[in-house]
Structure 1
Amino acid sequence: MIITLLSTLLFIGAPESPKELVYPEYAFSVPLSDEYKEVLDNGVVVYIAENKELPLIHIVGTFIGGDYLDTVDGVGVTSVMASLVRSGGTETMTAEDVDERFAFLAADASVGGGPTTVTATLDCLSSNFKDSFDLFFKMIQSPGFQPNRIELAKTNIIERLGQRNDQASGILRREFSNKLFGDSYLGRKPVLSSIESIGGDVLRSRHKLVFSPSNLTLSVSGDFDTPQMLEFLNNNVGSWTGVGAVVPPEEVNSTFVPGIYYVDQDVPQGGVRIGIRSVQQGDPNMAAIEVMNYILGGGGFGSRITQSVRSKEGLAYSAGSVFSDNPWTDGVWAAGYESKSSTVALAAELIFDEINTIKTETVSEEELEQAKKSIIQQFPSQFQSKPATLGVFVDDTITNRIPGYWVNYRNNISAVTAEDVKRVANMLLDQKKMVMVVVGDWSEIEGGDADGRSSMGKISGIIGGGISELPLRDPSTLEVLVTP
């Protein structure tokens, strides 16, 4: 009786269909970096946030100084140095003892290098945080670069270099970045000689240059009380001195030659990247470009390129486009797909048709509003956790992102008009200035599809620069392989 009554009461006024359910609007408030920001005595910026859900602490130290510091003959030095800060022991402990101590503490420490930064990360229990951090900080300040670990790291890297031609996708990524950015740090790769020449002296020199408080921004989140954590960090990191700040990355001034470039490979499908260098971080057209790219190819299954190439024609399992900015130099807009050899050209033509359409025809209000709504709905995800939120603030600090960018982000997206989309498409997507890189069986790709709808000769009339073969390069040395 009671159960029946309760059931009746629960369903009084309930909607008859799920479609009638009404949900309150999700109100997301953008976190403000100043509310999390502290500065240690030596000037190191710390973003700090308590999170007592689990007895864990997460620390990330991000240092300006990445691959861009490498010379042409020394590509790979910074990334090798970064990995050996973790794996090479300290000045007072062997690498094996460091590994054993971290395992005993149930702590995980890692260090990795990228194009413009080196990142050191510690995850540990709050109950033994001080012991874990003490070892972590010793590792950062005074790595041992143990000789046998140096040789092991080099051996592993050299083995990976030898595998760079094993997958067509790896060749495609390498040649595409090289065509867009040349021999700059964004276009070059380590080779056998540059790795073999790395020794302890050059690693210690690069470590001293990068691992300085002048280059450091910290983020700390987890199970702690903020005043005590700040006091601890000030007593340890705040008293750290080092060399001056490194010079930030310079703008990449290398020019690229538009055209179609192919690497002839005996594979069943052709891999393709079509792209052009885009805008730098802070460009006033950023919001409009983001919306334009979402409509064109960045919006998943609903985007135009995906619909045209995948859904309507069935020429590729996945096809789409990406847009990225860069704080120090040009970003990239690129479209990509894989298709069977005979339809590589047809898929490319469909992409160029969509590019031409978005440049010449005004997008519908429905398509525009859907794109803006989707971008705005996805926006809060980058702040979904305390570590993620602090990571955004660290990145903004290092790249000097303009104040208020995230606070104004949704309004800037909302303000994009259909005319803005057409304008930035014409500004950015000049087909005659694009690079197209193809990796596949050229004899099958060149002539196009059996129905004669397209061919690579036809595509060369769309892109400036003609068609050029890129000889396959030795995976270890990147020197052109000589055909016997």
Structure 2
Amino acid sequence: MKRKFSYNSFVMILSLSLILVVNGIASAASPTALPDPNRIRYKPLSFDPPRAERLRLENGLLLYILPDKELPLVKIKVVVRTGSMYDPAGREGVAELTAAMMGTGGIAGMSGDAVDETLESIAATFHASVNRDSGVFSFSILKKDLDRGFALFSRILTQPSFEELKLTLAKDLKLEELRRIMDDPQKLAFREFGRLMHEGTPRGRLTTSASILAIQRDDLLACHKLFYHPENVMISISGDIEIPEAKALIGRYLGGWRSSERRPETPPLPRQQNGGIYFLTKDVPQSIAIFGWLAPAKKDAQFYPFEVLDFLVGSGGFRSRIFQEIRTNLGLAYSTGSFYNAKGDYGLFGAYALTKSASTVQVISRIKEILREMGQKPVSPEELEGAKKAIQNSFIFSFTSAEKIASQQLMIAYEDLSEDHLLTYRSRIEKVTAADVRDMAIRLDPKRAILLIVGNDDVYREIASKFGNVTRVEANF
């Protein structure tokens, strides 16, 4: 028997629905007032990360060990004093190919394919990379396979064989990568920018197709012999391993590793240049503009105010001056900001924008104005305090795992910084004043900047008409 749906029931349901809707609208119209997060007061956060155990073996190998039992994993990071800046002239790419081939080109008594299969069978991961002034290797292994896995990893570091067939494949892959750079204007721009900022030193030489084709197996063997030895290598170990166990493991497989008698000469640092405008022609409807200056090293006292300056100028996201003006207010760029890449012995600061061709001159002019304004008057107390808090808080996230903590301490040694660099970083940022920031901003004189623009011929003519002397450059692959 069906029940009849009465009118009274309908009225009751409708009334309840209206009440709920009205209450919802009222709630939405007058939300509970939330406090301004910038006005919330709380006790100062303490920062005391655990310290990795620092050990040096008799053969000179430096170790940083930090146990962490959260997961049955052991993670290893190896940093080598090598890099593309050491590549012989005409054979640029040797350091990169050497590191890549160590992971794929086999080891003494074991083919590259066999190495790959063994790593896969024990779920181990291996990664190698080389930049301008260092080589980095990472290795992750389950605790139950640690001895077997590290035995293999140690042979990858010390006994690579660089198989000819794998070298041919690696060179072909690199040649294809070089060919594709012209298809990526942003990668093209930053590659050429790096060359210009390091021009006149080996640090500014770039890998080309000709240099890759010139590299032979003997070049890789020579590179490995010169750079891969205990006194030139630092290792961090973290995860499910005790300090005595780690020391015994390293001693067992790397204790007999002997140092090279030769010591490579460190290439000179980049020199301060007089500035100039450079143009790389590419037939695209957008332009990329990058300003660059040499900047303080991490060892310099000016490093800390420059960190704050970078945040305020462009790396601080939506709140930064360049982003706020160029993207938010004017809507002239879909990507813009700044970067500060500080190393132990020198630093680079850059400001950039990716914009449509028609607005290139306007964007460049406005970035110049923003930089001048930063050097003419101090930032407001609110802006300065917000930047310092953001930097201090983000710094904490560099220490969210044992792996990161051990790695940070290793890099302090690699860059020859003071042992308390990490512990005093936040307090030194806190001491930065508006006057300090202004003094650093004065160094960013647009007339002394290296300015690289990648764009089409119409943009070149407009840039030359507006700013005068422009040097055309060509990308060399």
> One fold, TM greater than 0.5?
yes
Superposed displacement of residue 252, structure 1: 2.4
Q: Does the 8 Å CA contact 1:36/1:47 hold for their aligned counterparts?
A: yes
Q: Does the 8 Å CA contact 1:219/1:390 hold for their aligned counterparts?
A: yes
Q: Does the 8 Å CA contact 1:355/1:429 hold for their aligned counterparts?
A: yes
Residues in 1 aligned to 2:69 and 2:440: alpha-carbon distance in whole angstroms: 45
| Structure 2 residue matching 1:317: 3-state secondary structure | strand
Superposed displacement of residue 130, structure 1: 0.3
Superposed displacement of residue 242, structure 1: 2.6
The aligned residue for residue 67 of structure 1 is 84
Residues in 1 aligned to 2:419 and 2:124: alpha-carbon distance in whole angstroms: 36
Q: Which amino acid aligns with 1:469?
A: R
Q: Which amino acid aligns with 2:109?
A: T
Q: Which amino acid aligns with 1:443?
A: D
The aligned residue for residue 401 of structure 2 is 385
| Structure 2 residue matching 1:408: 3-state secondary structure | helix
| Pair 1:444–1:111, CA change in 2 (3 A) | closer
Residues in 2 aligned to 1:104 and 1:211: alpha-carbon distance in whole angstroms: 27
Superposed displacement of residue 256, structure 1: 3.8
Matched, 1:305 2:322: yes
| Structure 1 residue matching 2:238: 3-state secondary structure | strand
TM-score normalised per structure 2: 0.88
The aligned residue for residue 335 of structure 1 is 351
| Structure 2 residue matching 1:276: 3-state secondary structure | strand
The aligned residue for residue 448 of structure 2 is 433
Q: Which amino acid aligns with 2:227?
A: V
The aligned residue for residue 108 of structure 2 is 91
Residues in 2 aligned to 1:345 and 1:411: alpha-carbon distance in whole angstroms: 40
What per-residue deviation string (whole Å, max 9, x for no partner) do you get for residues 130-155 of structure 1? Answer: 00111111121111111111111111
Q: Does the 8 Å CA contact 1:359/1:422 hold for their aligned counterparts?
A: yes
> What pairs with 1:56-455 in structure 2 (closer than 5 Å)?
56-244=73-261, 246-247=263-264, 249-254=266-271, 256-328=273-345, 330-426=346-442, 428-444=443-459, 446-447=461-462
Q: Does the 8 Å CA contact 2:197/2:270 hold for their aligned counterparts?
A: no
Q: Which amino acid aligns with 2:61?
A: V
Q: Does the 8 Å CA contact 2:82/2:135 hold for their aligned counterparts?
A: yes
Q: Which structure has the larger Rg?
A: 2
The aligned residue for residue 6 of structure 1 is none
| Structure 1 residue matching 2:300: 3-state secondary structure | coil
Residues in 2 aligned to 1:197 and 1:248: alpha-carbon distance in whole angstroms: 23
What per-residue deviation string (whole Å, max 9, x for no partner) do you get for residues 151-210 of structure 1? Answer: 111111112122221222122112212221115343221112211121221211111111
| Structure 2 residue matching 1:358: 3-state secondary structure | helix
Q: Does the 8 Å CA contact 2:296/2:306 hold for their aligned counterparts?
A: no
Q: Give the superposed CA RMSD.
A: 2.1
Matched, 1:30 2:33: no
Residues in 2 aligned to 1:469 and 1:69: alpha-carbon distance in whole angstroms: 28
Q: Does the 8 Å CA contact 1:65/1:246 hold for their aligned counterparts?
A: no
Q: Does the 8 Å CA contact 2:315/2:339 hold for their aligned counterparts?
A: yes
Superposed displacement of residue 341, structure 1: 0.9
* Structure 1 unaligned regions, length at least 5: 1-15, 448-454, 461-465, 477-484
Q: Does the 8 Å CA contact 1:64/1:246 hold for their aligned counterparts?
A: no
- Aligned partner of 1:469 among 464, 467, 472: 472
| Structure 2 residue matching 1:186: 3-state secondary structure | helix
| Structure 2 residue matching 1:318: 3-state secondary structure | strand
Superposed displacement of residue 396, structure 1: 0.9
TM-score normalised per structure 1: 0.87
| Pair 1:403–1:128, CA change in 2 (3 A) | closer
Q: How many corresponding residue pairs? A: 444
Superposed displacement of residue 383, structure 1: 1.1
| Pair 1:198–1:456, CA change in 2 (3 A) | closer
The aligned residue for residue 9 of structure 1 is none
Residues in 1 aligned to 2:41 and 2:242: alpha-carbon distance in whole angstroms: 36
